[in-house]
Structure 1
Amino acid sequence: MNSALTRLLEIAPAPSEPRQKDWEEAERRLGAELPADYKELIRIYGGGNWDDYMYILEPGCPNENYDLIEWAKNQAEDLEDLWEFEKKPAELEVEGSRVIPWATTDNGECLYWLVRPGLEPDQWTVLVNEARGGRWEHYEVSCTQFLASSLDGQLQSSILSSLFPRTTHEFRQLGGV
Structure 2
Amino acid sequence: MSVPTPVRIGLVSVSDRASQGIYEDRGLPTLQTWLDEALTTPWQALNRLIPDEQLLIETTLIELCDREDCALILTTGGTGPALRDVTPDATRNVAHRVLDGFGEQMRAVSLHYVPTAILSRQIGATRGRTLILNLPGQPRAIKQTLDGIFAAVPYCIDLIGGPRLETRSEVIAAFRPKK
Q: TM-score, normalised by structure 1?
A: 0.33
Higher helix share: 2
